[in-house]
Amino acid sequence: MPSSAARARAFDPRRAVLPDPETHALFLDVDGTLIDIAPHPDAVRVPPGLAGLLGDVSARFGGALALVSGRTVARLDALFAPLVLPAAGVHGAELRLDASGPVASSVQPFPERLRQGLGELARRFDGVFTEDKTSAIAVHYRAAPDAGALLGPEIAALVEAFGRGYVVLPGQMVFEVKPALHDKGTAVAAFLEQPAFAGRRPVFVGDDVTDEAGFAAARAHGGAAVSVGRRLPDVDIVLADAGAVRDWLAGLAAGTAR
């Protein structure tokens, strides 16, 4: 736990990229933030040494580091194996609050009627495909960028016709249809009640509209928001790209970024 003197130190957004390991908690988005964007979700490459680096930073922050992603926790584990971290998957629908604990999902399986509708819609466009994450479905159009303008309203209409409990979240060349109840902000709030995270100032790092709920939660808890690649609304600091995030983490692990 942070000392009371350290906790009382005023938070300075200019230092947001240099968080004190004793008083801060880190929440890291994955695609576009820790790893570079690839043409297909299965084509991403985790740079050599990144998993070890995350483990080192986590240890330095007393375990107060979590991955907060739109991917499933199982997929995150596969990407960063053998590292296992506290993690939120599918935009907060899956939660592993403690690295040694189970993955909890309070969400029902995705409604079949909506799944079928999204599948049929995706098949109408060359290069568009669905990614089934059990509790959410992502409709990817990176290989068919022009399809986005048509897909967006059609997906919104399908979700509205379904009528309850689901929302469309636009992301990086993707429309995510997910339960309305959870987002990256609810995930941050849940982590901040855990012993490893409680009393710390959260710093949320992300690159996308889907991270904005995480930014808002971090700021609402007295912390900071860091966007990657572009300035998203209400962030304190912008880092240039995922490479800059990895450099920043290396500084935190080495203890030179204080």
**Is residue 225 a contact partner of residue 43, using CB atoms and an 8 Å limit?**
no
Q: Does 135 bind ligand L263DTV3 (CB under 6 A)?
A: no
H-run or E-run covering 11: none
- Provide the pairing of β-strand 201-206 with 166-171: unpaired
Residues binding ligand L263DTV3: number (CB under 6 A): 24
Query: Shortest Cβ distance from residue 31 to ligand L263DTV3 (Å)?
Result: 4
C-alpha angle with apex 108: 29 to 77, nearest 5 degrees?
35
Is residue 77 among the annotated active site residues? no
Stretch 175-194: interaction string toward ligand L263DTV3, x if CB under 6 A: -x------------------
| From 16, 25, 26, 37, residue interacting with ligand L263DTV3 (rule: CB under 6 A) | 37
The per-type count for the chain, helices as H runs and strands as E runs, is: 8, 12
What is the C-alpha end-to-end distance of the chain, expressed in Å? 18
Q: Does 69 bind ligand L263DTV3 (CB under 6 A)?
A: yes
Q: Where are the beta strands (DSSP E) in the chain?
A: 24-28, 65-68, 87-89, 94-96, 104-105, 129-132, 137-140, 166-171, 174-179, 201-206, 224-228, 237-239
Q: Does 119 bind ligand L263DTV3 (CB under 6 A)?
A: no
Would you say 2 or 95 has its CB closer to ligand L263DTV3?
95
Q: Enumerate the β-bridge partners of residue 134.
A: none
| From 13, 41, 55, 62, residue interacting with ligand L263DTV3 (rule: CB under 6 A) | 41
Q: Does 45 bind ligand L263DTV3 (CB under 6 A)?
A: no
Which residue in 12, 20, 29, 241 is the catalytic one?
Answer: 29
| From 192, 210, 224, 248, residue interacting with ligand L263DTV3 (rule: CB under 6 A) | 210
Q: For the chain, what percentages of helix, strand and coil (3-state, to nearest 5) are there?
A: 35, 20, 40
Query: Shortest Cβ distance from residue 256 to ligand L263DTV3 (Å)?
Result: 27
**Token reading at 9:** 């130190």
Q: Footprint of ligand L263DTV3 on this chain (CB under 6 A)?
A: 29-32, 37-41, 44, 69-71, 131, 138, 140, 142, 171-174, 176, 208, 210
Q: Which residues are catalytic?
A: 29
